[in-house]
Amino acid sequence: MASGLKTSLFMTWLLALLSACLVGVHAQQPEVAVNHFHNLPAKLFFFDDTTVVAYHDVIEGNVYISDTEGKSWTRAGDIPEGEASMFVEHPFNNRLAFVLTRGTTHYRTEDRGKTWRSFDMPLSPAFVAKPLSFHSDPAKYGYVLYQGVSCEREGWGAICHDEARLSIYSLFLARASNHCVHRPDTSRCQFAHSSKDFKHEAHQDLIYCVGFDRTSMSGHHSLASSRLFSSTDFFQDDNKVEGLGIGKNARGVIAFAIVSKFAVVALKDISSPANEMLLYVSVDTKTWAKAQFPHASTARLRENAYTIVESTTHSLAVDVVLQDQGTIGTLFVSNSNGTFFVESLKDTNRNEMGFVDYENLYGVEGVGIAAM
């Protein structure tokens, strides 16, 4: 009898508590704040696990910061008005971000945009999508690869060469030390340790660069001289050409990327009249294997006609544009080591800028959404 009374009293107390919670929930009205900007953002970035948001207006060249989840905004006053050309967040430290200008003076924040400090580089940023590469080791979050461009005037024009420079930032001092990475004529440089999913035993300072091994008298480069280089001492003494398992035939390198747990090299088959692209994949930095796509598929890898989309740790995903339809593609997914691909979805959609309409669902492993 006493036990039944205790149970009844407990249930009554629990129902009363739930009712109070529900009343509290209904009492809270949603808040709406309207802010007006002159232009759409080139980047709208939320610092992970915080209420801080960054809004980059690339047309006016300004960065705005909100610490109220977007309710109110202030311009980053430490950055001269109209100077912000690119906003780059640190992918492994949610306190750090960089704003690059078109010149040699740039800005960094160590407190999620509250204050910005300037730093100088010898060169302007290169004309590439990602001029900065970051290290995934917490002890080396301050290691940033900066890719700059050096131009020499010739007649009415100029010849420009990309160069990679390593910037080691002292995160608690208002200065930065620059060390030149002796790898001129590069189109892409990246730390081998630049993804937490790409786990391997390689040297902590291993760097990959896509560059050229020789230059013609005119200063121009041939595709056959494009190689993948690597170094463990910032190209001071160690300067290795990656053979990709095919030795001297590893030429015509177009691009390099580290996606999830995969390192991917794209090269053009210069021996083939069809100019098809080949992908070589590594999951350990030591061995490389050619990616095999199904022969029965009508989709073929061609330069500027494929996209490595956001992938999981279980497989690599590549969207390939159909040759006669520039806005329609086929999505392929690989096995666990990224070497054998199968068709996953036909007739994927791309917009007029070539972006694939595909997204992974965050927090739900292995689930993605694509438009057809």
Does residue 330 share a domain with residue 246?
no
Residue linked to tokens 């796509």: 293
Q: Is the pTM of this model over 0.85?
A: no
Does residue 141 share a domain with residue 234?
yes
Measured CA to CA, the distance from residue 228 to residue 6 in angstroms comes to 74
CA-wise closest residue to 231 among 258, 208, 215: 208
Measured CA to CA, the distance from residue 323 to residue 89 in angstroms comes to 35
C-alpha distances out from residue 137 to 200, 285, 308, Å: 12, 17, 24
Does residue 277 share a domain with residue 152?
yes
Does residue 284 share a domain with residue 298?
no
Does residue 279 share a domain with residue 204?
yes
Structure tokens at 237: 């003494």
Measured CA to CA, the distance from residue 96 to residue 123 in angstroms comes to 22
Determine contact, residues 134/94, Cβ cutoff 8 Å. Answer: no
- Report the b/e string of 188-205 with b at 16+ CB within 10 A: bbbbbbbbeebeeeeeeb
Does residue 140 share a domain with residue 265?
yes
**pLDDT 10s digit of each residue in the chain, 372 long?**
455 544 554 455 555 555 655 555 555 788 888 999 999 999 999 999 899 999 999 999 999 999 999 999 999 999 999 999 999 999 999 999 999 999 999 999 999 999 999 988 888 888 888 889 899 999 888 888 888 887 766 666 656 555 555 454 433 333 455 555 555 677 788 899 998 888 899 999 899 988 887 654 555 677 788 899 998 888 888 889 999 999 988 988 988 999 889 999 999 888 777 778 889 999 999 999 999 988 767 667 776 678 888 777 788 888 888 766 678 888 898 998 999 999 988 989 888 777 888 888 777 777 888 888
Does residue 333 share a domain with residue 211?
no
Does residue 129 share a domain with residue 249?
yes
Residue 9 belongs to a domain: no
Give Cβ neighbours of residue 63 (< 8 Å, ≥ 6 apart): 54, 55, 56, 57, 75, 76, 79, 84, 87, 99, 113
Residue where a domain stops, chosen among 269, 290, 311: 290
Domain that holds residue 351: 294-372
Does residue 225 share a domain with residue 280?
yes
